[in-house]
Structure 1
Amino acid sequence: MMDPELQNEKRRYLDNEVLTLTIQGAHSTRGVPVYTDNRHSEPLKQFVRCRLPELGSKYRGGSVSDLKHIQNIEGLANDLTAHFHAILHGQKFRIGISQKLLNLYLKYQWVLGWIPEPPHCLFDFVVIRKLKLPQRISWTEMDSREDYLILVNAVRKIAQHAGLSIASWELREWSGPSGRGTTSK
């Protein structure tokens, strides 16, 4: 029988790793800065380490609507802007970075079996390129609900055509031969 204290330690370890990977992934912005000076980013990252688990707990029961999910993304961006505007490039934490933080965090939580399937997937360069949109939307520069909804609606259409949910479609694309992950076939 597994020691409950050891189980808790394992969970805390995985929680920490998930948060580290999430923050690193969302800050990989290919030359579009998040901060005015990266040397002052640590307090924001610590804030995110507290805020993401709070937001993630809202998804444990499942059935988070598109509207509520988008409000969570906007709320995270607004909270980070309010607390850290002085260190942020343009004095604002953009929706594109916020969606990647929350959506990537939820993806890890889902894949680990800690929450039900999230309502959306993360949107980064690779996912957006697969949508073949007529207009250019950059996740690193995106800062409007309207642009985010364009991405959600485009991926939903593709996922439904494949008989998948949004999150399942993105996971398969990422893991498949044309994605970034590797397959073991």
Structure 2
Amino acid sequence: MTIVEKSQYNFIQNEIWILTFGGAFQRANIYISKDLAEQKKGVFKKGIRVFIETTILDSYKTTIVSDAAHIENIKKVSDYSSNYSELFNNEKINFGIAQKMLNLYLKYMWSLGYIQSPPHFPVDRIIQELLNKELKGLGIKGEELKAWTQFTDEHHYVKVINNARELISKKESFANHSLAELELSLFQRR
């Protein structure tokens, strides 16, 4: 990679992380105090960014990551945040916030062609509503909406992912879509 290419990559990474943190933390109310020094938040954000980029990202570059491995990676993100327990209401970010962060980051990286299609998509209220609407049109009952910021484990998350798989298998217009492609398609239809 040339110096210019490296500078371009670093610029894009910084922009992606701004969007990722904004999307993952926007309604999460994760910090102990609103008055928490930006410097302390910045140390956490830098740390978790380095952790994801150096420990987790490589597995998504050339291979398809299994559901189980992906869920373990989400848990690793949550667990890593406990290194900054003094910042958080619950001593770490929960599964829902960790999945939103990792899945959103992977979505951006995939959209730019840096990695293979991610195994899942960011689960939030909007995607839950869109999936339920599509499933209802097929006469299938979707899952009850649950605030993604409140997911303490993978149980509801996995139900949403399974609903998306059911939609792919039952609706011809989504046939052969990956989960990531399905999410992009649903958002474009809004």
Correspondence 1:98 to 2:98: yes
Identity %: 27
Q: Secondary structure in 2 aligned to 1:91?
A: coil
Q: Which has the higher helix share?
A: 2
Rounded to whole Å, the distance in 2 between the matches of 1:100 and 1:112 is 18
Between 1:160-169 and 1:66-75, the stretch displaced more is 160-169
Partner in structure 1 of residue 178 of structure 2: 165
Correspondence 1:23 to 2:21: yes
**Counterpart code for 2:119:** P
Partner in structure 2 of residue 183 of structure 1: none
Correspondence 1:143 to 2:144: no
| Structure 1 alignment gaps of length 5 or more | 179-185
Correspondence 1:36 to 2:32: yes
Between 1:86-95 and 1:37-46, the stretch displaced more is 37-46
Moved segments of 4+, more than 3 Å: none
Of the three residues 152, 163, 168, the one matched with 2:161 is 152
Partner in structure 1 of residue 139 of structure 2: none
Cα offset, 1:172, TM superposition: 1.5
Correspondence 1:53 to 2:53: yes
| Structure 2 alignment gaps of length 5 or more | 133-141
Partner in structure 2 of residue 62 of structure 1: 63
Cα offset, 1:43, TM superposition: 2.0
Rounded to whole Å, the distance in 1 between the matches of 2:2 and 2:145 is 50
Superposition CA RMSD, Å:
1.6
Rounded to whole Å, the distance in 2 between the matches of 1:134 and 1:64 is 25
Q: Is the 8 A contact 2:143 2:160 kept in 1?
A: no
**Counterpart code for 2:6:** N
**Counterpart code for 1:17:** E
Between 1:129-138 and 1:161-170, the stretch displaced more is 129-138
**Counterpart code for 1:170:** E
Q: Is the 8 A contact 2:103 2:121 kept in 1?
A: yes
Cα offset, 1:49, TM superposition: 1.8
Partner in structure 2 of residue 72 of structure 1: 73
Partner in structure 2 of residue 118 of structure 1: 118
**CA-to-partner distance for each residue in 1:122-172, whole Å, 9 max, x for gaps?**
111100112323423210111112122111111121233321111001011
Partner in structure 1 of residue 138 of structure 2: none
**Counterpart code for 2:63:** G
**Counterpart code for 2:67:** D
Cα offset, 1:92, TM superposition: 3.0
Partner in structure 2 of residue 182 of structure 1: none
Rounded to whole Å, the distance in 1 between the matches of 2:114 and 2:185 is 19
Q: Is the 8 A contact 1:103 1:121 kept in 2?
A: yes
Partner in structure 1 of residue 9 of structure 2: 11
**CA-to-partner distance for each residue in 1:94-113, whole Å, 9 max, x for gaps?**
10000011000000000000
Q: Is the 8 A contact 2:130 2:186 kept in 1?
A: no
Distance 1:170 1:60, change over 3 A: same
